A and B are shown apart, each in its own frame.
Chain A
Amino acid sequence: MTHTDKRKTRTRTLSPIGRQIQEALATFLRRESSTIKPEHHLREDLGLDSLITFELLYELEKAFDLEIPNEDLPGIQTLADIVDYVETRLRLSTPAATATPNASHSKEKSRWRKVVTPSTKKSTGKLKPQVDAKGKKPRSESNTKKRAALAKSKGKKP
């Protein structure tokens, strides 16, 4: 239901992160990125089955150091939903976490990574000023316990 609403009302240009995800989808689907619209429904319009969607989410979790719980999945139906979700989550997470691309991940090859990795790396740099511009300071107080724990556990890893 959400995607049909959006289809009618929303005309939007994609943010840098949005364009990365769009590019990743284009590579995976082997089609022109300009043919993939923000309002496109992942399953109905782009033909992504659940497994492919989970692969995409996994690549995003890795690229942006996020943890996307199963409860959040029902709200992720369209490309615009993904972009909004990732951007909201990044705003809530620590700059340190978003700015550190996972070293091991760029070495591997997959149908997804060719696109997600390089452009992610480029724009994670851009992400910081973007976030700072909105006046959100490094936000220890806004962090949920979970995010804090996540960052902590990340620090422990080699």
Chain B
Amino acid sequence: MTTGSNPQRRPDGAAFVIALILAGIAVVIFWQTSIMRLPVHQARVGPQVFPYAIAAGLLLLAIGTAVSAWRGSFPARPPENYGPALWIVGGLLGQILLVSSLGFSLASGVLVACTARAFGKGPMWFTFLCGAVFAFIVWFIFARGLQLSLPAGPLERLIP
């Protein structure tokens, strides 16, 4: 970390985006809270006070973040390498969208294969198989042994 001694501190674009997002959230909270329909008989401190306070706080923090971004005082970030992270997000999305039709084991196989791929482990058919088998064992223990409700698919229905 070179904080403090780094002479070339530039405005931090990504941090500005964070400031904008914080301000955006504050505006949404303000707006959503202001359109609440309140009953006539209402305690002095109703359900709107806390959201308004949080929105005001977020707005101040957005300003502070913008100043901090302008000064470039965010800690140094490691070089960006989004590829593997995107594989994991893709794997999670795949599992989320497939789990209701394919069941927990097969959908989790997709998740495991994509995660292994993100960490440089392949081939994907092999990691998918390993993941699906492991997820099936886990499904059996938790769904049958501990009565947890987990989505079943064609594979899970093979077991009566």
> Is B truly associated with A?
no
List the interface of chain B (C-beta within 8 A of A). none
